[in-house]
């Protein structure tokens, strides 16, 4: 199989990241969270996951750069010595052979710039940090980009129910897709994979919309207007992170909208790379609000795209027409 070694390494890396996340979340302390300059929360797990994933990928593919969300600058500041100590401790429980400076170097290895040539990994160590902190949904999101195109994606969703209708049921899912090979889901506790496909719903009235939990991430007001135009009857499924891509890919929802809340905002590639290929390989469609494919060849940002529209393909043109009425 093409990309078999890359697929195996990515799954192993994300699995390690999920293990670290759950270990941190089981005893998250108030002094394990600090603020970035942009005000968003960052935790021990963000740094720790980037360290273990980066280290694992470097061992298998030392010449493939990593474009990651985090860097170790904050951990090198004296006032964050306790945070650094906790990060290092958690990472060593997953990969015991690392020294402190190697852990920081592994985090900083995520400073790649991406671009249209060659190949690189892109990682969001915890997509949905606020969901992680509140006990909601979050994901470890890893993708491989080659010549500007996403060709492999892995999403680890430790808190996602196997069935969204059973909120108290079993949790912990891992989603995998390779270009041209379809998409699969497995339990984090079980290596058996099963093929997933988007729902075949063709009538908007039967469709369920998925959107961000936080209105600051995606405009709930505009989404409600689009839902009304489409004649959607079901209440929206709101959750953090690229778990939204996952629930569309396996048919729990038919539409996912990420609508801009400001004119200047640009999406980052690690927020959409893994999820987009998983939906596409499950039979769905992913574009921006203008109907253009997402362009992962421009560095760390989706600079040529505005907004995200994800559907089961059957509904895509109808949804785009509704979006254009709200965003003319």
202 phi/psi in degrees, rounded to 5 = -115, -10
Q: Which of 149, 146, 124, 115 is nearest to 245 (CA)?
A: 124
d(CA 203, CA 316): 11
Q: Which of 95, 96, 105, 44 is nearest to 73 (CA)?
A: 105
- Catalytic-labelled residue, pool 43, 46, 108, 240: 46
First-residue to last-residue Cα distance in the chain? 44
Active site annotation includes 46: yes
Evaluate whether 141 touches 127 at the Cβ level (below 8 Å).
Answer: yes
- Catalytic-labelled residue, pool 43, 129, 184, 287: 129
The partner residues of 8 in beta bridges, in order of sequence, read none
Query: Containing H/E element for 46?
Result: helix 44-60
User: Which tokens sit at 111?
Assistant: 């400073």
Active site annotation includes 295: no
Sign of CA dihedral 109, 113, 178, 260: positive
Q: b/e string for 245-268 if b means 16 or more Cβ within 10 A?
A: bbbbbbbbbbbbbbbbbeeeeebb
Number of Cβ within a 10 Å radius of residue 236: 19
Q: In this structure, what is the dihedral angle of CA atoms 159, 165, 167, 168, given to the nearest 10 degrees?
A: -110
d(CA 183, CA 276): 11
Q: Which of 311, 217, 230, 229 is nearest to 271 (CA)?
A: 217
Residues with active-site annotation: 46, 129
């Amino acid at each position: 199989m093409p990309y078999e070694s890359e697929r195996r390494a990515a799954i192993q890396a994300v699995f390690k990241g999920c293990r670290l996340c759950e270990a941190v979340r089981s005893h998250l302390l108030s002094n394990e969270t600090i603020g970035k300059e942009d005000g968003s929360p960052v935790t021990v797990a963000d740094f720790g996951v980037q360290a273990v994933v980066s280290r694992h990928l470097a061992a298998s593919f030392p010449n493939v750069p990593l474009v990651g969300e985090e860097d170790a600058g904050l951990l090198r500041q004296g006032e964050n010595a306790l945070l650094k100590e906790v990060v290092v401790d958690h990472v060593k429980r997953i990969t015991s052979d690392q020294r402190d400076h190697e852990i920081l170097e592994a985090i900083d290895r995520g400073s790649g710039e991406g671009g249209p040539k060659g190949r690189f990994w892109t990682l969001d160590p915890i997509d949905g940090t606020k969901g992680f902190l509140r006990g909601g949904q979050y994901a470890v999101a890893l993708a491989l980009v080659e010549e500007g195109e996403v060709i492999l994606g892995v999403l680890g969703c430790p808190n996602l129910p196997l069935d969204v209708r059973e909120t108290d049921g079993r949790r912990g899912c891992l989603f995998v897709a390779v270009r041209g090979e379809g998409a699969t889901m497995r339990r984090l506790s079980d290596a058996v994979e099963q093929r997933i496909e988007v729902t075949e719903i063709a009538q908007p009235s039967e469709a369920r919309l998925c959107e961000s939990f936080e209105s600051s991430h995606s405009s709930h007001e505009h989404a409600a207007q689009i839902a009304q135009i489409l004649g959607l009857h079901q209440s929206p499924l709101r959750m953090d992170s690229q778990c939204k891509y996952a629930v569309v890919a396996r048919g729990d929802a038919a539409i996912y909208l990420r609508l801009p809340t400001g004119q200047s905002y640009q999406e980052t590639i690690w927020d959409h790379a893994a999820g987009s290929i998983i939906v596409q390989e499950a039979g769905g469609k992913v574009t921006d609000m203008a109907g253009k494919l997402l362009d992962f060849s421009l560095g760390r940002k989706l600079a040529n795209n505005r907004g995200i529209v994800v559907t089961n393909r059957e509904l895509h043109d109808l949804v785009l027409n509704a979006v254009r009425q709200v965003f003319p």
